[in-house]
């Protein structure tokens, strides 16, 4: 957001992120971003300091034959990274915007297809020896060291980073 000239107020919430049933990858991220936005809205809706503000909440997943969350350990990271090798996966971000004054909501998602190079087991071992994979959905950050293993993407790079600003910008321009 800062890169685009906005100065957000960052407000983490304790929204429940439990996934139930068998939702699609877009339903998951839209639901999770909506929960986060509503949790924030409940905190600020009656606080005049936030009049005129727009809440923007997002959640990003990596999807390859199922949701790839943050790896639990090195073996989990290894499993994820092996599954991407020489093939593609999806990065899906759900975004919810809520106008604090009116309570009006907009929920959307963005999908980027990501192709990985055919990297080696040694490349994977070198990568998982770093701290980078362990706090990232899907065990990697395209903007970090792992970016060297990305062959190409179809969609928005910023979506893979975690926030497709061009989608948000269109909505904010109409507020």
Structure-model confidence comparison of residues 23 and 150, the more confident one: 150
Quote the pTM value: 0.90
Residue with tokens 């990501």: 114
Residues 111-144: pLDDT tens digits?
A: 999 999 999 999 999 999 999 999 999 999 999 9
Catalytic residue among 16, 46, 47, 59: 59
CATH of domain 2-170: 3.90.950.10
Question: What per-residue confidence (pLDDT) applies to 11?
Answer: 87
Catalytic annotation present for 59: yes
Tell me the chain's radius of gyration from C-alpha atoms. Answer: 17
Is 159 exposed, middle or buried (CB count within 10 Å of its CB: 0-12, 13-18, 19+)?
buried
Q: CA–CA separation, 54 vs 19, rounded Å?
A: 26
What is the average per-residue pLDDT within 98-117? 96
Question: What per-residue confidence (pLDDT) applies to 175?
Answer: 66
Question: What DSSP line would sit under 46-81, residue for residue?
Answer: T-GGGTT-EEEEEEEEEESSSEE-S-SSHHHHHHHH
């Amino acid at each position: 957001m800062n890169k685009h000239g906005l100065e957000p107020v960052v407000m983490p919430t304790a929204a429940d992120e439990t996934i139930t049933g068998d939702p699609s990858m877009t339903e998951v991220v839209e639901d999770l971003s909506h929960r986060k936005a509503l949790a924030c809205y409940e905190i600020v809706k009656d606080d005049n300091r936030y009049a005129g503000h727009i809440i923007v909440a997002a959640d990003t997943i990596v999807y390859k034959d199922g949701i790839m969350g943050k790896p639990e350990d090195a073996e989990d990271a290894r499993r994820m990274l092996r599954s991407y090798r020489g093939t593609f996966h999806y990065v899906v971000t759900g975004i919810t915007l809520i106008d604090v004054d009116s309570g009006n909501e907009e929920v959307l998602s963005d999908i980027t297809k990501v192709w990985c190079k055919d990297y080696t087991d040694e490349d994977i071992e070198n990568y998982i020896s770093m701290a980078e994979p362990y706090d990232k959905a899907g065990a990697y950050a395209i903007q970090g060291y792992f970016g060297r293993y990305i062959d190409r993407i179809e969609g928005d790079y910023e979506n893979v980073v975690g926030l497709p600003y061009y989608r948000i910008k269109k909505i904010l321009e109409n507020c």
